[in-house]
Structure formats: C-alpha cells, structure tokens
Chains A and B, each alone.
Chain A
Amino acid sequence: MAICEVQGLTRDYGNGRGVFDLSFSINQGEVFGFLGPNGAGKTTTIRHLMGFLKPEKGYCTIGGKDCWKDRADIQKTLGYIPGEMVFFDDMTGIEFLNFMMKYRKVKSNGRTKELLDRFELDPRSKLKKMSKGMKQKVGIVAAFMHDPEVLILDEPTSGLDPLMQSRFIELVLEEKARGKTILMSSHIFEEVERTCNRVAIIKNGRLVAMDEVEKLKAAQARKYVITLENEEAAAAFAGEGLHVFEVSKNQVTVIVQNNIKELISVMNRYPVTNIITPNQSLEEIFMQYYGGDKS
C-alpha cells in the first residue's frame, strides 16, 4: 500500500531549476532512498511533502492526505530531519526537545531519553554553541521522539562521525522493522545500501532512475587505481584485457564488476606498488549502472 505518493509534481524556478513532472510512490514499511547531485531538486520535493510549498502542477499525498491542504494533520504522525539544522538560538538542547514535545502536544515518553543515550548526546548545552554533529543529533532526536509513522530525512547523517552514522543506520533499520515508512535523501553509499529497499535518483529536477537496491548492489562496479613501477609496465598491464577506464603515466584505472579474482591474478604478475579505490559517489555508481549519462 502506498503511504506516500508524488504525482506529476512540478515547480519551475526558471533556468532549468526546480522539479518537473516528478512521480513516485513509497509503500508502507519501505525505506526509500532519494538521491541526486546538489541542486537536483531533492529538497524542493521534500518541501512539497512537508507542505511548505504548494505544487504548481501535480500533487503529493501522505497517508492519503494532501500534503498542502492537510499539512498540519499529516504532521501528527510525521518526523522530519531538515537538510539544514536551524533551531532557536537561545535554547539549550533539552529545552528545545521539551519545547517541541509540548508544542506538538505530545506526552513525554521514555523515547527521548533512549534516543539521547543511543546517540550519546548531552543536550544541556546551548544550541548555538553546539557543533554541527551535536546539532544533527538534536535534530535526529526531535524527528524520532514522538514515534512517527512516516519519516522524511534530508541527509540525516551529515556531520556525524562514522560510529554515529552506523548507530543511525541501526535506528532506521529498527524503525523499518516496526513498519515505519521512510524517505531518506543521502550521499552515503553504506547508509543507502544497508537501509533502503528502493532508490530513486533525480537530476535537474527529473526522475532519471528508480530501482531496487539489491539490483544496484549486484551491478555495482568498482574503480581501482593501480600504480605500477614504471610506464611500460602500466601499458602492458592495460593490455591484459581488463576493463580499463584510464591510463595515466604509471597508473591504470580499471573497473571491476564481479571479476575481482581476475584482477588479483593479473596484478600478481606485475610490479604493482600501490592500489587504491577512489571514493565514488552514490550517484556515480548508480549512473554507471544505468549506462552513464542518461539524463
């Protein structure tokens, strides 16, 4: 059953910016990864889902209710992590969390404390004196503390260290197991790989691909940059029949899909001095799968 539906959503900011005829739906209990480069229209889409913006064309619904008309109603069972954390300057973390609970008219439950412990957050300092990571944690607690049914998370782990990122992934997995529906925009592969059922990628405001994460993982191609002792060796290495992406001086970049053993056996025969795997963005990996520039 579709909990969240976006149908023909359009908002034209001019100069090709905005979102155009965007459609997708998220099922109950599903974690939906929402990916795309900066400025692709992810946050604009999320603003429509939150009822901050009125669609120029099309509509979006959450739980069957219209995101613009019934926005306050939808918010009862919605948790949100904004892309940018801006709180009220003069409050401490705990004052803010208590304020939000009362403001939402929710009775305090044990969940806030549990979340604070989970993220090892001491909320007693002033929000404006907090580091980016600490603010992010406050935002996470604020989004989950009222135990919402639907979560909209805009780059939820930005500013968190790897340990906290993995704690966050655990939290998302637990919520998923409890049947919560989650839309998450992210740039971090591990986060998406471990949590999402499906992924959509948008570029220039248009949906360019949407598929299951399992398929993406199966087709995941990795780049390796292999440094050899000299240029001759590099040239010979490049001639071994591997999928060579690039040769520059004594460095060869190869793309490996499932044939990692083949790469290892070839490397064994050459004077390899170093091997690195450059960081690939999620979008890059995804777009490779879809055969390069499909937009």
Chain B
Amino acid sequence: MINWTLYKRGIQGIWKMLLIFAAVITMYFTVIISMFDPALGSALDEFAKAMPELMAIVGMNPVSAELISFLEAYLYGFIMLVFPMLFCILSANKLIVRHVDRGSMTYLLAAPVKREEVAFTQMKVMVTGIIALVFYATLIGIVNCEISFPGELDIGKFILLNIGVLCLQLFIGGICFLCSCIFNDSKYAVGVGAGIPVLGFIIQMMANAGKELEKAKYATFFTLFDSDGIIAGELGAIWGILALLAGAIVLFSIAIVIFSKKDLHI
C-alpha cells in the first residue's frame, strides 16, 4: 500500500521545512526551560501575575512550581500547538492538492500505482513529519530539563503529554489532508484546511480568556487535548487523546477514499 519511491521523494520535499520547525522548537524549549526557577517562581510567572488576561489567552496560566506544569503552561499551550499545526497546513498542501492544481499529479497517476496508494503514501509522509516533530520536541524537552534541572521532570507524564499533542496534531493533519484531497484548487484547500484548525484555536484562546466565554470550549476540538488533565492524571484526558486519534484515522481514511473516487481534471 505504500510506494517507497514516492515516500522518499515526499520526505525530501518536507525535510527543509522540518529542519526549520525543529530549530524554532529548539530555541523556544531552550529559552523557556532556562527561565524555570523552582525556588523563586519563574520570570514568566511574574509576567503571568502582571498581565493575567494576556497570558491566559495563550494558555499560559500561573502554575505550581513543578517543572512539568511549567512546561505544560508555557510550551504546550501555544508553541507546540501552533508550530506543528503550521507544518500540517503547509505539508498537506504540498503533498496532494498542489500536484492536482499544477497538474503534476498527472505523472503520479499515469503509472501503475493506485490512487489509494498515492494518497496513502503522501499521508505517511505527513504523519512521519508530525511524529518526527513531536518526537524531537519530547527529546529536546527531556534533554534540556535533565541538563539544567536533573531529576526534576516527571518524564512519564511529559511523554504522555507529548502523546496527547501528537494525537491532536494528527487530527489537525487529518483535517488539512482531507481538504487537500477534496479540493482541486490550492487556495480553497488551504483556506478551509487552515481555517478550521485556526478557528478552533482562536475559540480555544477565547475560552481561556474569559469566564463568560468558557462554554465556547465545547465548540472546538482543542478541548479534547486537555493538558492540565493529562498532568493531573485524569482519565477523561486520556479518552480525549484516544478520541483525537480515532478522529485522525477517520479523517485520513475519508480523505483517501475521496481522492480515489473523485474526477481529476489533470
């Protein structure tokens, strides 16, 4: 079901993009982890106390002095949501709809390779990228913490937190990929494929910000990624992760079926 030649080509295509995102993640992780100070409360917590509304919007609430909660608040409320999401949007566009829009899909289909196989392979490229990014972030997080604050980080919970982010990003990737398969025009695919997760994220930020808007959280799938719940070890948070994973599988499957059945004017 996978064409390795196409897979290799796809990885070559997203390689540079992955490097850039990895560099950004390295920078944020290093800088933010270095700001943690278990004794005094971090510099960021000072910010959070000074302007609670603004910091709440981006998911940075003042937290307990634990390192894991600190990482969750300052890296997994914004950085680890937005950057992999950007990767999803860009790579989904690059892998399917761009070829259809430009016409280079012709050559991928004028060969004894099933459309299902083309779409499945391109999906694998995207999923590989998402996994690589989250895996890299996990690694850089653990390494940074162990160097600066040996033994402080609850590694088990941190890995679980990253699995949560992974499933969330796979779900977002599924939305982007589905749009990439539905539309024949890059601008619509990106418009809708980026629009849905970005809107979801904005609703989440609004829900974070104000008590009166708190109910808005039920209108966005970001709620399924309950990072506080994961850290607290709540069962509901685990179900959220599983729901995201199941959703991602459904989205990718629908995308492949649609791509295989649709008319292509190439």
Residues of A within 8 A of B (CB): 47, 50-54, 71-73, 75-76, 78, 80, 82, 84, 86-88, 99-100, 102-105, 142
Chain B's closest residue to A86 (CB) is B103
Which B residues touch A50, using CB under 8 A?
Answer: 109-110
The minimal Cβ–Cβ distance linking A120 to chain B, given in whole angstroms, is 23
Q: Is the CB of A103 within 8 A of B110?
A: no
Which A residues touch B148, using CB under 8 A?
Answer: none
Q: Is the CB of A99 within 8 A of B109?
A: no
Q: Is the CB of A86 within 8 A of B102?
A: yes
Kindly state whether residue B6 has any CB partner on chain A within 8 Å.
Answer: yes
Q: Is the CB of B263 within 8 A of A53?
A: yes
Q: Is the CB of A103 within 8 A of B5?
A: yes
Stretch at the interface among B111-119, B203-211, B215-223: B111-119
How far does the alpha carbon of A87 sit from the alpha carbon of B110 in the complex, in Å?
12
Q: Is the CB of B9 within 8 A of A99?
A: yes
Kindly state whether residue B266 has any CB partner on chain A within 8 Å.
Answer: yes
Q: CB < 8 Å: which of B5, B117, B264 contacts A53? A: B264
Q: CB < 8 Å: which of B102, B109, B111, B263 contacts A100? A: B111
Residues of B within 8 A of A (CB): 3, 5-6, 9, 102-104, 106-115, 117, 261, 263-266
Q: Is the CB of B106 within 8 A of A82?
A: yes
Chain B's closest residue to A102 (CB) is B5
Q: Would you list the 6 A-B pairs with minimal beta carbon distance, nearest first?
A: A86-B103, A76-B112, A102-B5, A75-B112, A72-B114, A80-B110
Known: A86-B106, A87-B104. A104 touches B265 (CB 8 A): no
Which A residues touch B261, using CB under 8 A?
Answer: 54
How far does the alpha carbon of A102 sit from the alpha carbon of B113 in the complex, in Å?
11
Taking A52-B263, A52-B266, A73-B112 as known contacts, 14 extra A-B pairs with beta carbons closer than 8 A to each other, sorted by chain A number, are A52-B264, A54-B261, A71-B109, A75-B113, A80-B110, A82-B107, A82-B266, A84-B103, A87-B107, A100-B107, A103-B5, A103-B108, A103-B113, A142-B107
Which A residues touch B265, using CB under 8 A?
Answer: 47, 52-53
Q: Is the CB of A103 within 8 A of B104?
A: no
How far does the alpha carbon of A76 sit from the alpha carbon of B261 in the complex, in Å?
20
Q: Is the CB of B109 within 8 A of A104?
A: no
The minimal Cβ–Cβ distance linking B256 to chain A, given in whole angstroms, is 14
The minimal Cβ–Cβ distance linking B122 to chain A, given in whole angstroms, is 13
How far does the alpha carbon of A82 sit from the alpha carbon of B3 in the complex, in Å?
23
Known: A47-B265, A52-B265, A103-B6. A88 touches B104 (CB 8 A): yes
Q: Is the CB of A82 within 8 A of B103?
A: yes
Q: Is the CB of A72 within 8 A of B113?
A: yes
Chain B's closest residue to A87 (CB) is B104
How far does the alpha carbon of A82 sit from the alpha carbon of B143 in the complex, in Å?
52
Known: A52-B266, A84-B103, A99-B9. A105 touches B109 (CB 8 A): no
Which B residues touch A75, using CB under 8 A?
Answer: 109-113
How far does the alpha carbon of A267 sit from the alpha carbon of B104 in the complex, in Å?
55
Q: Is the CB of A103 within 8 A of B263?
A: no
Chain B's closest residue to A53 (CB) is B263
How far does the alpha carbon of A54 sit from the alpha carbon of B102 in the complex, in Å?
21
Known: A52-B265, A103-B3. A86 touches B112 (CB 8 A): no
Name 21 interchain pairs, CB-CB below 8 A, sorted by A: A47-B264, A51-B109, A52-B263, A52-B264, A52-B266, A53-B263, A72-B114, A75-B111, A78-B110, A82-B103, A82-B106, A84-B103, A86-B106, A88-B104, A99-B5, A100-B111, A103-B5, A103-B6, A103-B111, A104-B113, A142-B107
Q: Is the CB of B103 within 8 A of A104?
A: no
Q: Is the CB of B106 within 8 A of A105?
A: no
How far does the alpha carbon of A187 sit from the alpha carbon of B5 in the complex, in Å?
36
How far does the alpha carbon of A76 sit from the alpha carbon of B115 in the complex, in Å?
14
The minimal Cβ–Cβ distance linking A55 to chain B, given in whole angstroms, is 10
Which B residues touch A52, using CB under 8 A?
Answer: 106, 109, 263-266
How far does the alpha carbon of A196 sit from the alpha carbon of B9 in the complex, in Å?
39
Chain A's closest residue to B103 (CB) is A86
How far does the alpha carbon of A47 sit from the alpha carbon of B104 in the complex, in Å?
14
How far does the alpha carbon of A57 sit from the alpha carbon of B110 in the complex, in Å?
23
Chain A's closest residue to B104 (CB) is A86
Known: A54-B263, A82-B103, A82-B106. A104 touches B9 (CB 8 A): no
